[in-house]
Amino acid sequence: MVCPDVYIYASAKQWDGVARMRLLMRERKISKPPGWSSIEAVGQTHTFFAFDKSHPSSDEIYNFLKELEETMRAHGYVPETKSVLVNLDEEEKEDLLCGHSERLAIAFGIMNTKEGEVLRVIKNLRVCVDCHTAAKFISRIVTRNDTLHKNAI
């Protein structure tokens, strides 16, 4: 979870306030747990962190997500960049959304399960608005009933 003050400053696009809060958090050794998502596929549990490139299939996963995003856009998907709490241009924010852990887990699950199998993604943090919307589009496109589950830790 993002520190509430950082979120307030970021949502108001007050980037100096964001920088001050992050510096204060660093000085006081306050941190948030990294976001992760896991999925069971191919007989194992696979865990992904946001912007994770450590998985052996990460190149294929990111390529699949790029193709999937193009298809989603053709079906009316518009990225919701308000969830990206950094001062970047819109295109860079859209690129960051593709690196969210639940998208990596969903893509891996689709790539490694048979049609008709239900995908269950477990998360340690809440799902951002854009990933919720993307999951619905992905579910319709790949004709599955993908379910995201929040794991309260």
Same domain, 28 and 65: no
Q: Which residues form the domain of 44?
A: 34-150
Whether the full predicted model's pTM is greater than 0.85, yes or no, is no
CB 148 within 8 A of CB 102: yes
123 and 58 in a common domain: yes
pLDDT of residue 105: 96
Cα angle: 32, vertex 33, 35; to 5 degrees: 115
- In tens, the pLDDT along 105-135 reads 999 999 999 887 888 999 998 888 888 999 9
